[in-house]
Amino acid sequence: MPPFNHLHPAIVHFPIALLMTAPLLFLIGALWPAQRRGIHAMALLLLLLGLAGALLALATGDAAENLAHRTPALRAALDQHEEAAEWTVGIFSILAGTWVLHLGAARFLHRDLPPRLARLLFILWLLVSAMGVGAVLRTGHLGGHMVHDLHTHGGEP
């Protein structure tokens, strides 16, 4: 097994796929009422797995960063990529937390929100998830820039 610091390029693709798929499944669930519960349960699972993978990607990225031979351009790119990754994890943490809170409140109160309020909050949740997908795309783009434009492969410039 490769050292922890070389796992980053192999790990990052899983949270990217999971975090970009989960909001789409939440939307599909909203549009397919007969299957909503099952689709939303699967979407929440993908969201939580994607978030766990993103946290692992942050950890492996930190380990890989320590190996990089830093030029000023690489240092700036690393800082941008790391900041974008932290924003991505933050956005999806909020999304996961609010969805779990929503489920817990509905179970605890034994009733759902009024339909108009539920619809408005779901639309707001989808808008924030679109921001999260944008953050994933930006993070991935910045990582690709380091690998392909700055020729950083596994910590070797």
Three-state secondary-structure class, residue 153: strand
Q: Residue 71: which pLDDT band, with cuts at 50, 70 and 90?
A: confident
Q: Calculate mean pLDDT across residues 63-81.
A: 82
pLDDT at 2: 59
CA 135: distance to chain centroid? Answer: 8
Q: Residue 108: which pLDDT band, with cuts at 50, 70 and 90?
A: confident
Of 83, 84, 15, 3, nearest in space to 48 by CA:
15
Tell me the whole-structure pTM to 2 decimals.
Answer: 0.88
Tokens describing residue 118: 């539920």
CA-CA-CA-CA torsion for 50, 137, 83, 93, nearest 10 degrees? -30
pLDDT at 64: 81
